Amino acid sequence: MSSDVLEQMRTAFKAEALDLLIELDSSLLALEEKSGDPALVHRVFRAIHTLKGSGGTAGFKHLARFTHTVEEVFDLARGGHLAVTAELVDCGLKACDVIRLILGETADATVAGEEDVVRALSQLLPGAAEYPASKPGAAAAAPLGQSAPPGGATRQAAYEIVLKPKRRIFYSGADPVTLLDGLRSLGQAHITAQMEQVPALRSLDPEQCYLWWKILLVTGAGLAAIRDVFVFVEEECELSVQLLEDQAGAVAILGSVPPESLQLFKAECEDLLQQIENEALSLEKRPASKDSLDALFRGVHSLKGNAGVLLGQVEAPLPEDHPLPLLHRASHGLESLLHPFRGADAPPVPARTVQTALETCDAIRTLFGSLAQNAAGSLASLKLLERLGARGDLSETPDTVRSAAFLNTTSQCVETIARCFHRLEMGNEEKGPVLETYRRSVRTLSAAAQYQKCPELEAPLAEQLQILDAAIRSGAPLARAERTSLDKAFRSVCSILDRLDPAGSSPMTSDPSNAPQKAPADERHPVSTSTIRIDQEKLDRLMRVVGELLVARGAFPLLVQKLNEGSDAAGVARDLKEAGAAISRISGELQTSVMSIRMLPVKTAFQKIPRLVRDLARSLGKEVRLVIEGEGIELDKTILEQIGDPLVHVIRNSVDHGLETPPERLAAGKDPSGQVTLRAAHEAGGVVIEVADDGRGLDAAALKRKAVENRLVTEEAAAAMSEEAAFQLIFLPGLSTAAKVTDVSGRGVGMDVVRSNIRNLQGTVEIRSRRGFGTALRIKLPTSLMISKGILLEAGGEEYILPLSNICDMVKMPRAEAHQYRDLKLAQVRGRIYPIFSLADLLGLTPSREPDLSIAIVEAGASKYGLSVDRFVTELEVLVKPLTGGLEKCKEFQGAAIMGDGRVVLVLNALECHCLEQTHAAR
């Protein structure tokens, strides 16, 4: 409960209390005149009663306690058990004064005169009431004990609850499902509905409750809390709550296994038991039947497996004689008993063994019965288990799972590799598969090394991997030298592993997220992005804003009430305006908060790049330095998820085609190792991701030639093209399918896909390059897809929205300052000349003839142009919804936005307006 609401309540109560006191005063005075008038006594009683009830609710506990005493006295008077005397009225009047004082107090302190009044009142009572005897008071007697049970016991206990609602329970307004939910909220509840009383559909009355439930509940809340769930339905239900006998076992199993899982286990084991018994019986008839034996064996095996898995899930250790471990051991014993007879040349199963199998089945069934009933229970003969030779050799719990996983993996891999060496020595089998197994183990080892943060393992592992890769690729047998280096590297791995003591020294932590941050090139955590991990601070802020919103909402009912009561309109209007302003401020904050939750650092998309670059560089024989900047810049989660693939593509192109080989670089007078820079930065309401290399750069002439060859542009257009414009040809779809052209460095591969991916994100991409010095690709993205800022404008008498992220500049200039040059209108804006297009013309509307031109300078990829409109209206924030139902083909619009007043306004896509302009120009 927010303290604001409480404060409002206190204020509201005080106002009413003062009215009630006046009422009380006047009734008491009238009572002094007309002693004993029952109607007056009643009025006095009601006033005090209301003061007590409302006061307690508003948090005036002290007042409630005091008025309770006063009320008791007047209740007697009301019932005629106490004479209305002058003393009584006098006490009442004094009580009024005390109440006024209490209302003025903020602390829960006794006020002047209070004790006198109480004493005087108690003397009036037949059996002198004590004060402040603080009988726990009505509040404490309320059946609401949701708190922990006495003693604050948190020990888990297992209960069996049987809940049989009366048929008519629904007519009391109660719903058994809420009761079951109540139990679920206390702990792990295994609920089984009992359906045998449900009649045939024909005679079923839907308003009756036929179901009843058995619930096994593990909770630390205690019996009182369980009873409290049913406090309102005691009369409508038959209820029994009992502690289960085998507490330890029941708590262990029911408390840690999800109900669905246990249900599934029971159902499957039921089937398996049936199968086992059937097969054991048919084996008794035909002891030589391998089919029966195999089926029996598989059944027992599955039973053992299931019990084992369930055991693994149980957190607390189970007692030795609990049915579950016994079940596991019994099936394990039976399995070993049957195993010797399974081979093709094994003897038939002796009758004695079949008998034991059948007995074991019986025992297992008994065990299972008690387990299925309440996950606990009494126990069958341990002698049988002895006969089966079953040992309690079940799962050992490792100190830390993580280091256990690491040790398990490394020892498995080391063994496997050792065996591979052996197989290679023997030389009597094909080497390929052996090398594959070897390589797989090395990879697994290197995963384990990363996982446990053992960087010292990396070098020897990488060395082996390199030799194995080469050997597998070439298919040639290992040379003597290679064999020796493999052996040496492997030995060094073994000795490093030996040095790591079982506790897992080296810089190891139990939680990967706490691990010290290492150089980005070494970092490769598996990132799961389907969930969002939210900064606690962001969440707290959101909660606070939501709280404010709730409080602000509280103002409206009061205003409605004022209006209904006919308060003066101007005053209400003022209040309404204030309330509106508060809501709009809060919703603004709410938006920012929610948006910030969707924002993630670009690091999540950059993470995989270092490894990519390293692998690429190695396979291409290049030396590459990767520089990453601005990892902390945040982008919307959706955008981040979708930018990954284009980014990989672009980086690959940079390393593969952009950078030269070390000899080429040396020949060009450059550092032999090339540099690729991946940089994120804020820019004009969006984020720019730049991938730059210091490689050979693009060849504009070659690009033009290629484009003309593929008939993507005319020869004239190509000739007129600036170098910068020529670079953008790389994004044309046709160019990418062309065979690799060395002097264009094949950079076109897939760039059209990159561009369309980025456009789908409302982003733009442009390329800059300088021959011999390198190439830079700039991807400009909005920070969020959901909400964007835009300019509301008018063109040709219609309203449109232009996203702010596309706008570089906005100017107003006299019409005369735009010059017509051939069929192009040009204007100079801040020292630069731009082609100007009228939006109305582009959209086929009639532009207005304003004396001044309103121009937005718009960025579309590499080029900028001016868009002239009738006028700019205002800047606003809009939620852009994509166009659907065929309208999505109108590429000049990226969507539509709904305005505050409900109108729909189209949102322009500056990029595609650009294309309209190009088609116009082409005509």
Look up tokens 């991938």; give the residue. 691
Those residues whose C-beta lies under 8 Å from the C-beta of residue 889, and which sit 6 or more positions away, are none
DSSP letters spanning 469-528 = HHHHHH-PPPPHHHHHHHHHHHHHHHHHHHHS-TT--SS--S-GGGSPP--GGG--PPPP
Q: Measured from the CB of residue 872, what is the shortest distance to other proteins in angstroms?
A: 41
Of residues 329 and 622, the one with the C-beta less far from other proteins: 329
Short-list 787, 813, 507, CA closest to 638: 787
Element (H, E) at 907: strand 904-908
Neighbouring residues of 550: CB distance < 8 A, sequence distance ≥ 6: 2
**Burial environment of residue 144 by CB neighbours within 10 A (0 to 12, 13 to 18, 19 or more):** exposed
Shortest distance (Å) from residue 383 CB to other proteins: 25
Decide: helix, strand or coil at residue 863: strand
For residue 204, the 8-state DSSP code is: -
Cβ-based nearer residue to other proteins, 401 or 573? 401
- The residue among 263 and 661 lying less far from other proteins, judged by its C-beta, is 263
Closest listed residue to residue 790, CA positions, set 732, 882, 730, 877: 877
CB of 53 to other proteins, least distance (A): 4
Contacting residues for 849 by C-beta, under 8 A, at least 6 apart? none
Cα–Cα dist 836/848, whole Å: 15
3-class SS at 908? Answer: strand
CA 469 → CA 168, 426, 462, 491, distances in Å? Answer: 76, 22, 10, 19
Q: Which is nearer to other proteins, 447 or 702 (by Cβ)?
A: 447
Nearer to other proteins, 304 or 665 (CB): 304
Quote the least distance from Cβ 670 to other proteins, whole Å: 35
Pick 45 or 865: Cβ nearer other proteins: 45
Tokens of residue 521, six digits:
């090139």
Which residue number, 396 or 823, has a Cβ lying nearer to other proteins? 396
Q: How near is the Cβ of 506 to other proteins at its closest, in Å?
A: 15
Nearest-10 crossing angle of helices 38-57, 61-78: 160
Least distance in Å: CB of 229 to other proteins? 8
CB of 789 to other proteins, least distance (A): 30
- Closer residue to other proteins, CB minimum distance, 24 or 707: 24
Among 606, 601, 602, residue whose Cα is nearest residue 534: 601
Taking the complex as a whole, how short is the minimal distance between the CB of residue 318 and other proteins, in angstroms? 13
Looking at beta carbons only, is 162 or 414 nearer to other proteins? Answer: 414
| Shorter beta-carbon distance to other proteins: residue 397 or 919 | 397
Q: How near is the Cβ of 709 to other proteins at its closest, in Å?
A: 35
Rank residues 146 and 737 by Cβ distance to other proteins and give the closer one.
146
Rounded to the nearest 5 degrees, what angle is found at the Cα of 199, between the Cα atoms of 196 and 202?
Answer: 160
Closest contact distance (angstroms) between CB of 97 and other proteins is 21
User: In angstroms, what is the minimal distance from the CB of 309 to other proteins?
Assistant: 5
Contacts of 621 (CB under 8 A, 6+ apart): 661, 662
Q: Are strands 807-814 and 852-860 parallel, antiparallel or unpaired?
A: antiparallel
* Strand-pair partners of 691: 678, 777
- Which pairing describes strands 819-821 and 832-838: parallel, antiparallel, or unpaired? unpaired
